[in-house]
Amino acid sequence: MSVAKTARFLAGSTRVVLAGIIGWLLIAPIALLTPRRRDLIAVIGMSDGSFIDNAKYFFLQASPLLQPGTKMVFVSGHDGAVEMLARQGLPAVRYPSFRAIRILLRCSVAVVDSGDWLFRMRRFLLLGAKTVQLWHGVGFKRIGFDKMRNEPRAWLSSPLMMWLRILNGALNGKLVHYSAVVSTSTFYEREVFRNAIPGRYQLVTGYPRNTFGQFGDPGLREAAWLNVEAGVREALPAWTKQGRHIVLVAPTFRDSRPTTLGIDASIAQMLDDWCERHCVEMVFKFHPFERATANLTGTHLHLCDAASDIYPLLPLCHALVTDYSSIYMDYLLVDKPVVFLVPDVDEYVRQDRQFQFDFQEMTPGPKVETWPQVLAALEAQWQNDGFIAERARLRQLAFDNLDQREAVPKLIAFMHDRGWIKRTSQISSGAPVT
């Protein structure tokens, strides 16, 4: 490690230690002594409160189910998200602010869908509140404590390092035992979440985001489309009228480098020409960490903003191209072809993330290494889809045939039944609890 990197590492470690000391000594006592209100729920999205993923869809779907007088507030670190929700008349506050801090100190329940809600002192402000972890995906990669126990660099998972990492997590407030952890099936609850994310209750309900923005209230359905990429959203009516196919390209990130799916000018031209010939529009949604998208231009190639939401688009897509992203598992509910562009499997496992399950058995689609192979695989599956049965097997494994529209009602009923929020007699839980 260079001198500069060492200095940055030490400076970062010092900030974390100081934040932990301030959090435990100053903020934690205030949070634990402040009375919690059963008529107040906070929702915090991933990436410092982005309005995406399970937190977004829980927030939108839960609002009509709450007891009159119960308030739910979206807490975000992004001005744009707060302003967007405010224009729709939806309660949102900017963090950090006095109002946001007061909400986190007073709420009875905080609903989150990632691990970064812990940062910027939010973890300490929420001591004493019930925390519900929705998480943000089921696939085949290791997560949470299971990832810590199986790091690609084995020395990080040694008994001494595990002890030090757990101690560090306890001291800086990032070691959390959740009030409830949500999963999508009995298989994932048993094989993944129980060992990866500790919680008092493990719930099997399905995921709020897998309604794909299709739920009751018209105003809330409209709100689900607010942060879908504007250019794509506006073009959809014309694409539908023209009978154009939509292919979504949504890879994950690499911890140490850009994806190997970067597209140079010649590949972009090849993709655009192919789209022209086959009446296709190709929509790209890269992870916010991705940096290799500069050459993505073309008449039929559409790049979504990294902070935009693609879930309302999934039912409209005719195929998905991905790599190791867990989005493919949710796409099984749409039951359309999936192509896995994975030229770096061995390198990914060695440098980035261990797989918990056999990659071949958990990926119901062709595995290819180049963009020409992707296009050939798409054409072949549109002519003769040979993965229907395999998708059905994995869909059952991942979702237990649960109606995803019932996920949020089950979660609200569970909170009511436990007395975490104001009680209502009109919802029945039905969520398996372990």
Q: Which contacts (CB < 8 Å, 24+ apart) does range 422-425 have?
A: 422/38, 422/39, 422/66, 422/67, 422/69, 422/70, 423/67, 424/67
**Structural domain count, the chain:** 2
Q: Are residues 340 and 200 in the same domain?
A: no
Per-chain mean pLDDT for the chain: 90
Q: Is residue 223 part of a domain?
A: no
Question: How much is the pLDDT for 117?
Answer: 95
Query: Is residue 108 scored above 80 in pLDDT?
Result: yes
Q: Is residue 289 part of a domain?
A: yes
Question: How much is the pLDDT for 3?
Answer: 56
Instruction: Convert the pLDDT of each residue in 45-59 to its tens digit.
Output: 999 999 999 999 999
Q: Work out the pLDDT band at 292, boundaries 50, 70, 90.
A: low
Q: Are residues 123 and 157 in the same domain?
A: yes
Structure token pair of residue 2: 């260079």
Calculate the CA 88 to chain-centre distance.
23
> How far separated are the first and last CA of the chain, in Å rounded?
45
Query: Is residue 4 scored above 70 in pLDDT?
Result: no
According to DSSP H, which parts of 64-172 are helical?
79-87, 98-106, 122-125, 144-148, 159-172
DSSP secondary structure code for residue 255 in this structure: S
Burial class (CB in 10 A: 0-12, 13-18, 19+), 421: buried
Question: How much is the pLDDT for 259?
Answer: 61
Q: Are residues 62 and 188 in the same domain?
A: yes
Q: Is residue 431 part of a domain?
A: no
Q: What residues make up the domain containing 260?
A: 229-308+317-399
Q: Is residue 294 part of a domain?
A: yes
According to DSSP H, which parts of 126-263 are helical?
144-148, 159-172, 186-188, 194-196, 218-224, 230-242
Q: Are residues 196 and 236 in the same domain?
A: no
Query: Is residue 102 scored above 90 in pLDDT?
Result: yes
Q: Is residue 276 part of a domain?
A: yes
Q: Is residue 71 part of a domain?
A: yes
Question: How much is the pLDDT for 257?
Answer: 58
Q: Is residue 422 part of a domain?
A: no
Q: Please answer whether residues 11 and 36 qualify as being in contact, where contact means their C-beta atoms are separated by less than 8 angstroms.
A: no
Q: Please answer whether residues 399 and 185 qualify as being in contact, where contact means their C-beta atoms are separated by less than 8 angstroms.
A: yes
Tokens 């099984």 locate to: 332
CB neighbour list of residue 103: distance below 8 Å, 6 or more residues apart: 40, 42, 73, 75, 93
Q: Is residue 54 part of a domain?
A: yes
Please, how many CA atoms are within 13 Å of residue 223, restricted to the half-sphere of its CB?
26
How much is the average pLDDT of 178-188?
97
Q: Are residues 178 and 238 in the same domain?
A: no
How much is the average pLDDT of 255-262?
62
DSSP secondary structure code for residue 254 in this structure: -
Listing DSSP states for 203-234 in one string gives: EE---GGGGTT--S-HHHHHHHTTTS-HHHHH
Q: Are residues 347 and 268 in the same domain?
A: yes
For residues 139 and 174, what is the distance between their CA atoms, to the nearest angstrom? 24
Residue from 412, 359, 395, 75 nearest 210 by CA = 395
How much is the average pLDDT of 82-99?
96
Q: Are residues 129 and 175 in the same domain?
A: yes
Question: What does the CA dihedral 385, 390, 392, 393 come to, rounded to 10 degrees?
Answer: 170
Angle at Cα 241 formed by Cα 237 and Cα 247, nearest 5°?
75
Query: Is residue 210 scored above 50 in pLDDT?
Result: yes
Q: Please answer whether residues 111 and 132 qualify as being in contact, where contact means their C-beta atoms are separated by less than 8 angstroms.
A: yes
282: number of Cβ within 10 Å: 23
Q: Are residues 114 and 183 in the same domain?
A: yes
For 221-245, b/e burial (b = at least 16 CB within 10 A) is eebbebbbbeebeebbeebeeeebb
Share of the chain above pLDDT 90, in %: 68
Question: How much is the pLDDT for 352?
Answer: 64
How much is the average pLDDT of 112-139?
95
How much is the average pLDDT of 8-34?
82
For residues 375 and 282, what is the distance between their CA atoms, to the nearest angstrom? 11
Q: Are residues 333 and 275 in the same domain?
A: yes
Question: How much is the pLDDT for 425?
Answer: 47
Q: Work out the pLDDT band at 1, boundaries 50, 70, 90.
A: very low
For residues 68 and 229, what is the distance between their CA atoms, to the nearest angstrom? 34
pTM: 0.92
Q: Please answer whether residues 172 and 19 qualify as being in contact, where contact means their C-beta atoms are separated by less than 8 angstroms.
A: yes
Q: Please answer whether residues 364 and 337 qualify as being in contact, where contact means their C-beta atoms are separated by less than 8 angstroms.
A: no
Q: Work out the pLDDT band at 20, boundaries 50, 70, 90.
A: confident
CATH number at residue 255: 3.40.50.12580
Q: Work out the pLDDT band at 254, boundaries 50, 70, 90.
A: low
Q: Are residues 254 and 179 in the same domain?
A: no
How much is the average pLDDT of 412-425?
86
How much is the average pLDDT of 10-21?
72
Q: How far is CA 133 from CA 110, 154, 293, 358, 401, in A?
A: 9, 28, 32, 26, 22
List 43's β-bridge partners, or say none: 74, 111
Share of the chain above pLDDT 70, in %: 89
How much is the average pLDDT of 4-30?
76
Using DSSP, state whether 322 is helix, strand or coil.
strand
CB neighbour list of residue 283: distance below 8 Å, 6 or more residues apart: 229, 232, 246, 247, 248, 249, 302, 304, 310, 313, 317
According to DSSP H, which parts of 246-338 are helical?
265-278, 327-331
Q: Are residues 250 and 199 in the same domain?
A: no
Instruction: Convert the pLDDT of each residue in 302-359 to its tens digit.
Output: 999 988 999 999 999 999 999 988 999 999 999 999 999 998 777 766 766 678 888 8
More confident residue, 183 or 166: 183
For residues 257 and 320, what is the distance between their CA atoms, to the nearest angstrom? 23
Q: Are residues 375 and 330 in the same domain?
A: yes
Structure token pair of residue 341: 């562009």
Burial class (CB in 10 A: 0-12, 13-18, 19+), 94: middle
CATH number at residue 162: 3.40.50.11820
More confident residue, 333 or 21: 333
Question: How much is the pLDDT for 58?
Answer: 98
Instruction: Convert the pLDDT of each residue in 372-411 to its tens digit.
Output: 999 999 999 999 999 999 999 999 999 999 999 999 999 9
Query: Is residue 9 scored above 90 in pLDDT?
Result: no
